[in-house]
Structure 1
Amino acid sequence: MSDAYIRGAEPADDEALGALDRATWSTLHAVAPRPQPPYPPFFDERHAPEDHLVAERAGEIVGYIRLGHPTPLSCNAHVRQIQGLAVARAARGHGVGRALLRGACTEAGRQGATRITLRVLGHNTPARALYAAEGFEVEGVLPGEFYLAGRYVDDVLMGRSLTQR
């Protein structure tokens, strides 16, 4: 298991998280264009520190996960959605992503959620394997939803219960 410490994000993490986000950008998981200077703050009106968990190793932020509501509707309030996950290249393969994912599931349950969902690009085999290993199942596929790096890529919808495991 990971030797990373998982904690809630703080406003002071903004710069480090922005740098991590830019360093890990890839068409393997990103549908937005590569960020260009001047870089906006990592936290904004839609993504607050309390929406994030961070992984720290030896005092350095090596990963984050963003947890949010999939919609503003009260009939959907029992669901949380993973809206971003990044792990520094040097920390990959050491359980950091798994620790963040488990932390997000725990936090979602603490918030009263009974389900957690996510979207992952079809060609992101490492992420899909991690999610499946943590009990997420494919619940839908939007074929060819994105055109990235010269090819069409599926958008895969995955989810799991937080009350059954």
Structure 2
Amino acid sequence: MALDVVIRPARAEDEHEILELHRSAWSRVSEPGPKRPRDAAVFDERHPVESFLVAEDGRRVVGYIAQAPASPLASNRHVRHIQGLAVLESTRGSGIGQALVEAACAAARAGGARRMTLRVLGHNGPAQRLYRRCGFAVVGVLPEEFLLDGAYVDDVWMSRSLADGHGHGPAHA
């Protein structure tokens, strides 16, 4: 990762930059839903500012990740779910995505979580490779879950244990 990039908790004033980053990174390879409008809210009841980490290069937000409890059930509070990840296109390949994933896992572990989960589109090879490098494994596939631009796309569920303490190595289903 570039030496001048810092990962920190998001602040309310980061909302516009996070939205613009999300909009610039949006594609049918990574998103089954529509592109968010320019005036959309990023932070809301389901996505509080506290659930976001950002990568900042000193001048601007170059990446973000959001994670939250996997469900509202108390019996499931030990599981966190990655709700979104984006890295500025010009900085991809520099390790920022992996650093964000590892930071989110560390934050979840510090908050008492034992497992991190996520969903990724079946045709998003780069994201799946990133998550595998971070210790995630495929735990399920919903075949042809989305119809995107005339093609059916799988919904791939991935998971990783946070109980190992160091965040690397194979994930256990």
Please give the TM-score of this superposition, normalised by the length of structure 2: 0.91
Counterpart of 1:125 in structure 2 is 125
AA paired with 1:12?
E
- Which residue in 2 is equivalent to 1:114? 114
Give 3-state SS (helix, strand or coil) of 1:30's partner.
coil
- Aligned 1:1-165 pairs, distance under 5 A: 1-3=1-3, 4-37=5-38, 39-164=39-164, 165=169
Give 1:44 shift. 1.6
Q: CA offsets, 1:77-134, max 9 Å, x none?
A: 0000101000010110100100000000100001100111000000000000011111
Alpha-carbon separation, structure 2, partners of 1:2 and 1:117: 27
**What is the alpha-carbon distance in structure 1 between the residues aligned to residue 52 and residue 37 of structure 2?**
23
How many aligned positions are there?
164
- How far apart in 2 are the matches of 1:120 and 1:158? 8
- Secondary structure of 1:101's counterpart equals helix
Deviation at 1:43, TM superposition (A): 1.1
Check the 8 A contact 1:138/1:156 in 2, yes or no.
Answer: yes
Distance across 1 between alignment mates of 2:58 and 2:107:
23
Structure 2: distance between partners of 1:74 and 1:36: 34
RMSD: 1.1
C-alpha contact (below 8 Å) 1:64/1:87 kept by paired residues = yes
Instruction: Name the % identity.
Output: 49
Q: How far apart are 1:31 and its partner, in Å?
A: 1.1
Q: Which runs of 5+ in 1 are unaligned?
A: none
Q: CA deviation at 1:57?
A: 1.0
CA distance in 1, matches of 2:137, 2:23: 29
Deviations 1:27-77 (A, max 9, x none): 11111112235x222112221110000001132100000001111001100
Distance 2:36 2:102 in 1: 28
Equivalent pair of 1:2/1:99 in contact (CA under 8 Å):
no
Structure 2 unaligned regions, length at least 5: none
Quick one: distance in 2 between partners of 1:2 and 1:119? 27
